[in-house]
């Protein structure tokens, strides 16, 4: 089985160039894109081939984003991949282990998330590994704490489809968010191992191939089903990121709402 490639500028431009748009139902050729942004076909070929010396300027990136009808998240991702947003990107290539992250979770933090039951609270790293969580989060997503990683849980644990009412939409969101996070790094080695593990799942490979990008939830509500009773309920989700040393930690907060 072929390995899955980390996000790259060339792959992203090619994927967006060849997708259907109202103006170009069959996608754009390199010649058409070149005409739109006043660049040669050979230069676009070098861009899409990830040739190192084909480093586009911000002006070229702006023109490319406009020609390809990129939305705000896609434009941001384009600049990230081109290394034109240095203040946003992380330069580390050696991630902290889960054990390292867990040293950051103080007794006060544990007390606080426990006190927030029955609302769902967890700390995660940017590879979607669960660092710590309260009992409500553990109960809502059966098997996730044992699996350890949200994306692997989606694709490896049958219970994920049982409790996630909108499984496909939530899985696609998490994959596209993971892709966006990988694009923030100058070198994606911090998550390549995770990507290789996920490549074993055909559904993940299909979602990854879409090259979709999100930097957050498309809407705040997550719809769940109780694994024991089958009761439907919703949570209002917020994900907050903060830096701990050189590494970002994400806090997931799902405020549980009455069943409607």
Stretch 185-198: mean pLDDT: 79
Q: Where exactly does CATH 3.30.450.180 map onto the chain? A: 98-257
Q: Which CATH number fits domain 9-81: 1.10.260.40, 2.60.40.420, 1.20.58.340, 3.50.50.60?
A: 1.10.260.40
- Residue 179 scores a pLDDT above 80: yes
The pLDDT score that the predictor gives to residue 91 is 57
Count of helices and strands (H, E) across the chain: 14, 5
Beta bridge partner(s), residue 221: 236
Q: Of 20, 50, 257, 51, give the one whose Cα is nearest residue 136.
A: 257
- Residue 158 scores a pLDDT above 90: yes
Higher pLDDT, 82 or 86: 82
CB 224 within 8 A of CB 101: no
CB 254 within 8 A of CB 222: yes
Nearest-angstrom CA–CA distance, 22 and 180: 25
Q: Architecture of 98-257 per CATH?
A: 2-Layer Sandwich (3.30)
The pLDDT score that the predictor gives to residue 194 is 86
Helices 9-18 and 41-48, interaxial angle, to 10°? Answer: 120
Beta bridge partner(s), residue 253: 121, 238
Output the DSSP codes for 88-110. Answer: TSB--SSPPPHHHHHTT--HHHH
- Report if pTM > 0.85: yes
- Residue 40 scores a pLDDT above 90: yes
Residues 6+ apart with CB under 8 A from 219: none
Q: pLDDT band at 92, cuts 50/70/90?
A: low
Stretch 152-170: mean pLDDT: 96
Q: Which of 96-105, 195-204, 233-242 has the lowest mean pLDDT?
A: 96-105
The pLDDT score that the predictor gives to residue 148 is 95
- Residue 198 scores a pLDDT above 90: yes
Question: What CA–CA distances, in Å, run from 34 to 64, 120, 149?
Answer: 9, 49, 42
The pLDDT score that the predictor gives to residue 5 is 87
The pLDDT score that the predictor gives to residue 244 is 76
- Residue 3 scores a pLDDT above 90: no
As a whole number of angstroms, the longest Cα–Cα distance in the chain is: 61
The pLDDT score that the predictor gives to residue 77 is 94
Stretch 228-253: mean pLDDT: 89
Higher pLDDT, 13 or 86: 13
Q: Where exactly does CATH 1.10.260.40 map onto the chain? A: 9-81
Nearest-angstrom CA–CA distance, 80 and 105: 30
């Amino acid at each position: 089985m072929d390995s899955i490639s980390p996000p790259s500028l060339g792959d992203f431009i090619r994927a967006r160039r060849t997708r259907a748009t109202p103006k170009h139902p069959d996608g754009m050729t390199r010649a058409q894109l070149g005409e739109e942004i006043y660049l040669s076909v050979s230069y676009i070929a070098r861009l899409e081939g990830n040739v190192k010396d084909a480093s586009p300027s911000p002006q070229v990136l702006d023109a490319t984003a406009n020609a390809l009808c990129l939305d705000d998240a896609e434009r941001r991702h384009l600049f990230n991949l081109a290394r034109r947003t240095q203040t946003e990107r992380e330069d580390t290539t050696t991630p902290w282990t889960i054990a390292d992250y867990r040293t950051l979770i103080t007794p006060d933090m544990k007390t606080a998330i426990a006190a927030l039951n029955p609302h769902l609270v967890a700390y995660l790293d940017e590879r979607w590994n669960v660092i710590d969580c309260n009992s409500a989060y553990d109960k809502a997503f059966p098997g996730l704490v044992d699996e350890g990683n949200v994306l692997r849980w989606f694709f490896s644990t049958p219970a994920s489809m049982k409790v996630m009412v909108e499984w496909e939409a939530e899985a696609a969101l998490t994959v596209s968010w993971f892709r966006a996070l990988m694009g923030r790094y100058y070198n994606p080695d911090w998550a390549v191992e995770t990507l290789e593990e996920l490549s074993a799942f055909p559904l993940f490979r299909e979602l990854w191939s879409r090259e979709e990008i999100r930097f957050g939830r498309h809407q705040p509500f997550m719809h769940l089903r109780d694994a024991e009773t089958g009761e439907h309920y919703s949570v209002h989700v917020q994900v907050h990121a903060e830096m701990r040393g050189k590494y970002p930690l994400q806090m997931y907060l799902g405020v549980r709402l009455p069943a409607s």
